[in-house]
A and B are shown apart, each in its own frame.
Chain A
Amino acid sequence: MAAFVVSPLKMGPLLVLWLAGCLSGTWAVDRGNFKTCDQSAFCKRQRALKPGQSPYRALLETLELTNTKLTLQLINDNNKVRLLLELYRLQGNMTRVKINELKPLKPRFEVPDVLINDPPTEPLSLLSRDENGVVLSLGADSQRLIVSAKPFRLDIMEGREVLLSLNSRGLLAFEHLRIRKDTQASQQFEIAKEDEKVEDGMWEETFKSHTDSKPNGPSSISLDFSLPGVENVYGIPEHADSLKLKATDGGDPYRLFNLDVFQYEVFNPMALYGAIPVMLSHSAQRTMGIFWLNAAETWVDISSNTGSSETPQTDVRWISESGIIDVFIMLGPTPTDVFSQYASLTGTQAFPPLSALAYHQCRWNYNDQEDVAAVDQGFDDHDIPYDFIWLDIEHTDGKRYFTWDPHKFPQPKDMLQGLLDKRRKMVTIVDPHIKVDSSYKIHNEIRSKGFYVKSKDGGDYEGWCWPGNSGYPDFTNPEMRAWWASMFAYDQYEGSMENMYTWNDMNEPSVFNGPEVTMHKDALHGNWENRDLHNLYGLYVQRATAEGLIERSGGVERPFVLARAFFAGSQRYGAVWTGDNAAEWEHLKISIPMCLSLGLVGVSFCGADVGGFFKSPSTELLVRWYQTGAYQPFFRAHAHLDTPRREPWLFGPENTALIREAVRQRYALLPYWYQLFYHAHHSGQPVMRPLWVEYPQDTATFSMDDQFLLGRDLLVHPVTEEGARGVTAYLPGKGEVWFDVHTFQKHNGAQNLYIPVTISSIPVFQRGGSIISRKARVRRSSSCMEHDPYTLFVALSPKRFAQGELYIDDGHTFNFDKQKQFIHRRFSFANNALSSRNLAPGSQFTTFSWVEKIVILGASKPSKATLKTPDGKESQLEFEFDASMSVLTLRKPGVNAGLDWTVVLQ
């Protein structure tokens, strides 16, 4: 749901007045509400610094090398302030560079709780050393790290090639903490240094009507990275922009600062709800990553010499308002390696309950229990499957989360039981702003326990949000999180049941009357300012909620929590969505690069509001959005309160049928989705991938925004143009083939294929060489399909080979992890034989599901097909062969999906 605008009926008159003042009549983001780099004092100061000779020098005599790290002091020759550099070689081909003040006036913030552990190191060895610097070995592949002393600079080399340089443009800038000059205490330090002249915005800064007190003064940091040979950089979500990041010369840098942006626009570098400070660089030779572990407001400048005759190079500069420089350089060299490297640092995608991968029906708001029952029945009446129905803020008693409106939802358990009887589920919203109301238990407890974020004056910080005046629990406090988690216990959250899950919206946090619609930077989380950890708040909210859902089941059940704000590591706690988009074709298109960007930096469970949140979609747009959303990881329709109803059956039988078909395709493909998510969870590989991830040398794929891969094996090119009569899909892979999943038509790889489309078309192709499992019996919810049989689609490569996997478990508990209760099979087709073998011998699980059909694409006609099982039994399978499409269909092998078997074609 929910940017900060709502019908005046819902809010107090004060808020209405204020909103009326903020709203312009036109439909677009009000840019004036959000800072440009120029309006953000530290960004302006830092950006005023131009590339050139760095004032920093490495003091080689201070070098210390231990088993785990190298330390070295740096000095700024202009002001003699010393920094401490720490270099680590991390397991898995990564280098960590940490720079802090040697003796800061007070500790500077270091981001906790994002890394899953202290990253294991490997020894660095000194290769050579002279007065100009030192050379260290990074182990494999003749990789070296060169530390140059004057000016200070780091280069990572492989052989004779520079992979990446730090401070090569001299933009390392570390604003040391200082005592304010105009205070008494500073009298004794009257050594006025040249670079310490007080500029506007160092000790106080005002934006619109908000003054930021900045008691710690200037504290920003900046560092530049040069990437020789690189033309393409990706990542640093969240921005509504193209997949391939653009040069920022002449415009604003990409901004990372979690904000509730009302009616955001596409194709610009403005900050949005979440921030993941991870950038990937890619060239045909190598993929690398830069993880800038800093949770303060951050800006990223990108410049590139692309187009000139010299070696291409991309230069990147990171600027953050506070904290330290702590950067992880992931050296790849393949995309898969970078994903694994990043996963080893921040963890992998939470493995969602299977049903969370199915279809979600949401709206702000389903009005009451009768409405919920009617919509539920509507899906059955129109034979459209769905798994989750969602309740937005109006279900609560006056926006008091964890409560129910007593008139509209008097019997929530009856409602939930009704859904449970249909094997369906519900999500209710629980936002992190808490109504200040002394008759509200949650508020009273948080207040009495001192769990609220404090204002700079030490009182409880308060701001406006949906309930009116609200407090903001300090989720950075582990005690607060533990208490919050305990509120999800069935006996605490009255009316909740095991089929009820949670949605955390507004967790940037959104503060309607705060600066840039968020929290004041000088608000306090314990000893730290919001300034230091702003981008972490949302992660903590989602974490505490996910932990609550786990706890309420005694640690048995997997949680499902959707959040709008996120940070590096948020993937461990659930799903995210692209926030309050709009019912416009541009927003449908941008959903692809937005989710791809998130996938590249660990967050696989991503989706956009199907249909668009603001405004009302045309029927064509709605249908196209269902068709696209059916092939994106998080598949949820959502709509603004003020828009007309848009349940799938409200647009005439033809459109109902189109939407039904799109949703059914999703359900049939759930086994594949589940397997992809298992992989994402297991190894950190993204579910939804840009083509270049699988075809890293194919330069044609580097800036593709309109198509994507699911895993390796499905290529999706959704129709996102109004009135489209055809799309041109690029099928990658020289010498490869792709099969249209609907017609089984075979196409060659490495070509642009024009596909005529109608309103029912969803162009999807299966890679020749793959085997994908589907469940052809689509039922009214995914749970109803649990025991249903599988159909295997074997798409043969030109060499008549194919491989695939199948993952099965109970679909909702942690038993797959704790008790190894799962089935993981490998299917291989080679030498005219298809076999299933166990990929996880240590695991055990039994399924009722069996193999009902095997469809082999690109096959030739056999004379017979023999099924062999380990007990030595053999049986002949009936089959059909469609010569026009070369499709062989094996009838009813009937073998259990968890067992070994082989089918031999003769």
Chain B
Amino acid sequence: MSCALLLLLTSLALVMGTGTAVEIQRPRGVPQSKRQFYEENKPFTCLDGSSTIPFDQVNDDYCDCRDGSDEPGTAACPNGSFHCTNAGFRPAFIPSSRINDGICDCCDTTDEYNSGATCQNTCREMGRKERESLQIMAEITKEGFLLKQQLIHEAKRGQEDKQGKLTELQGSKKGLEGKMEALRTVKKTAEDPEKEAKERHLKSWEEQKELIRMEKDKTRMAEAFLELDDDADGYVSVAELQSHLELDPDSDGSLTETETQGLLGGAGKVDTSTFETVWSGIKDKYLSEGLSDPPAPVETPKEEESRDFVSDHDSDHYPEDYAGEEEDVEDDEEDDDHEEEEKVPPTVQTPEKREDDELSMPPYDTETQILIDAAQKARDDFDEAERALREVDGQMKNLEKEIGFDFGPSAEFAYLYSQCYELSTSEYIYRLCPFNRVSQKPKFGGSETNLGLWGQWAGPEENLYSVMKYDHGQGCWQGPNRSTTVKLTCGKETVVTSTSEPSRCEYLMEFTTPAVCQEPASLDEVLHGHTEL
């Protein structure tokens, strides 16, 4: 009355009742390759050798062997496996737990012989479908592989081109370096006399200015003496000076006689020549009686400052420094041009204002100007050489970077470099730029999100070039930085076929390219290689 008995009977019925079931000549669930271990009417030894049981305990729905080998056709052993022949399709092993569980696992229905499940034999249909799809795949692989050969060829040529270009650039770099060194010497040679001449010019200008100043001072002193000498007796007396409260040494608002006398060097009055000494003590404070405006104080520091401005404007340093800066700026953003303009005006305006009350430096003499022009030319030449070298360096760097990329064993992925591929979904446009970055842009407005920058090849050891990894994308709210895994499959065309986000901020992209197509096995081999009949 046990189910086991029922089960045994059913299997018998199956064997005897259906004339076509000839293939079940071995115990249920045993593959052909193990047929010899299950010999009817002989004691069965578990395949791990752990024990030996009577043959009627094989497939009796009770697990006797530790390795499950006595129950290949029932669900009795937790670690057993069941073999479905699946004639017309591919044979398969399924875990014993799927025998008679009401779910059709084997396309030949043999796993559900006692569950009440109604399974259709779908092996032929599945076999046909598989063959069809394999055929299609095989064709794709074949064509893809041809394309791949072409890609490899192109990549090789491209690589050679690049290598050639690089060698060429290396040559011209050497030339440029030599040239630059030479020009550096020329520049130095031209700049030394220039500097000397300019200094000379400056020095004589300084001397000249000092003379002018001294002259001016003398005139003021004489004017002051005349002004102070109220009684025009040729002497400035204490009384005459006392009206000048601004000279009060202790600034208490009154200029005493003693204080005044002190200003006059202890004397009661002074003549013109002695006044010279007195003048030097009071000239900074002295206010002219006739003028409402205070005299322009002779402030040396300020004068120097403004002079610096003037000389800076013509300075040889400034333009050079500025040129360098300008170049950097241009590299960055165009907007910075405005900044440049803003920087200039103050240096231009200040001297203009000063020109009114100050004498400007006279132009360089012809001799000096010639030296300056010569030096400027040397500088320009040098700068140009340097720029040319930088350009070559940049080109070389890019080339080296490209050459250095791992484009696969035969550089078959090189053609993807500096290309981009897009896929449009209901919400977003995804963009894959191989070896560069992956991004996502909302279809209906919104800014682009960086889903990762090129990281590395990340396939399994035996197939490294089947997966690309892009990481360090835009950070996720409360999460990691976005990253994308790109799975590559063989296809005739280079297309992004799907994208998904299996985990938050971890994207998955499917990408077909001929570059991963493997050399096709012969179709027959694909279709029949593993079929057991």
Q: A residues engaging B (CB < 8 A)?
A: 5, 7-9, 367, 370-371, 383, 407, 421-423, 641-645, 776-780, 783-785, 787-789, 848, 850, 852-853, 891-892, 894-896
Contact = CB atoms under 8 A, between A and B. Distances in A.
B4 A423 contact: no
Contacts of A892: 2, 4, 60, 62
Nearest to B425: A407
A389 to B, nearest CB: 15
A9 B479 CA distance: 13
A660 to B, nearest CB: 11
Given A367-B501, A894-B2, A896-B1, A779 B506 contact: no
B477 A7 contact: yes
Given A777-B75, A779-B75, A367 B502 contact: yes
A894 B477 contact: no
Contacts of A7: 476-478, 504
Contact of B502 (A371, A777, A783, A853): A371
Interface string B75-116: 110100000000000000001011001110000000000010
A407 B426 CA distance: 8
Nearest to B114: A787
A848 B3 contact: yes
A788 B4 CA distance: 11
Interface residues of B, number: 32
Given A643-B503, A779-B98, 17 more contacts: A7-B476, A370-B500, A407-B426, A642-B505, A643-B504, A645-B506, A779-B101, A784-B97, A787-B115, A789-B3, A850-B2, A850-B3, A852-B62, A852-B76, A853-B62, A892-B62, A896-B2
Interface string B452-480: 00000000000000000000000011111
Contact of A776 (B78, B115, B503): B78
B3 A644 contact: no
25 contacts: A9-B477, A371-B502, A407-B426, A423-B102, A423-B103, A641-B504, A642-B476, A642-B504, A644-B504, A779-B75, A779-B98, A780-B97, A780-B98, A787-B3, A788-B75, A850-B3, A852-B62, A891-B62, A892-B2, A892-B4, A892-B60, A892-B62, A894-B2, A894-B3, A896-B2
Nearest to B504: A642
A451 B95 CA distance: 53
A862 B455 CA distance: 69
A783 B117 CA distance: 13
B76 A644 contact: no
Nearest to A776: B78
Contact of B97 (A778, A891, A895): A778
The 6 closest A-B pairs by CB, nearest first: A894-B2, A784-B101, A645-B503, A892-B62, A779-B97, A642-B479
Most chain B CB within 10 A, of A776, A779, A891, is at A779
A8 B503 CA distance: 16
Contacts of B503: 643-645
Contacts of B502: 367, 371, 645
Interface string B1-40: 1111100000000000000000000000000000000000
A433 B65 CA distance: 57
A784 B3 contact: no
Interface string B209-227: 0000000000000000000
Given A367-B501, A383-B95, A780 B101 contact: yes
A273 B501 CA distance: 31
A852 B505 CA distance: 50
B235 to A, nearest CB: 86
Nearest to A895: B2
A903 to B, nearest CB: 15
Contacts of A850: 2-4
A5 B3 CA distance: 54
Contacts of B2: 850, 892, 894-896
B478 A367 contact: no
Interface string B470-508: 000000111110000000000000000000111111100
A695 to B, nearest CB: 34
B402 to A, nearest CB: 34
A772 B478 CA distance: 47
Contacts of B61: 852
A730 B75 CA distance: 38
In this complex, the member of B60, B426, B504, B505 whose beta carbon has the largest number of chain A beta carbons within 10 angstroms is B504
A641 B476 CA distance: 12
A778 B78 CA distance: 7
Nearest to B51: A880
Contacts of B477: 7-9, 642
A639 to B, nearest CB: 9
Interface string B125-157: 000000000000000000000000000000000
B507 to A, nearest CB: 12
B301 to A, nearest CB: 53
B353 to A, nearest CB: 52
Contacts of A9: 477
B119 to A, nearest CB: 11
A784 B504 contact: no
A382 to B, nearest CB: 11
B422 to A, nearest CB: 19
Contacts of A785: 101
Contact of B478 (A642, A779, A789): A642
A367 B504 CA distance: 10
A407 B428 CA distance: 13
Contacts of A787: 3, 115
B132 to A, nearest CB: 22
Contacts of B95: 383
Contacts of A644: 480, 503-504, 506
A644 B504 CA distance: 7
B445 to A, nearest CB: 14
Contacts of A780: 97-98, 101, 103
Nearest to B500: A367
Interface in B35-64: 60-62, 64
A896 B75 CA distance: 18
Contacts of A421: 103
B39 to A, nearest CB: 22
A778 B96 CA distance: 10
A287 B97 CA distance: 46
Contact of B102 (A370, A784, A852, A896): A784
A371 B498 CA distance: 13
A644 B2 CA distance: 49
B80 to A, nearest CB: 10
Contacts of A422: 103
Give the one of B95, B115, B477, B505 with max A CB within 10 A: B477
Nearest to B426: A407
Nearest to A368: B500
B97 A777 contact: yes
A5 B4 CA distance: 55
A421 B112 CA distance: 14
A771 B333 CA distance: 81
Nearest to B100: A787
Nearest to A781: B101
A853 B78 CA distance: 14
Nearest to A784: B101
A797 to B, nearest CB: 28
Nearest to B479: A642
B425 to A, nearest CB: 9
B78 A777 contact: yes
B433 to A, nearest CB: 24
A850 B1 CA distance: 10
Among B97, B479, B500, B506, chain A packs the most CB atoms within 10 A around the CB of B97
Interface in B407-442: 426
Interface in B143-193: none
B424 to A, nearest CB: 14
Contacts of B97: 383, 777-780, 784
A784 B1 CA distance: 22
Contacts of A371: 500, 502
A188 B407 CA distance: 94
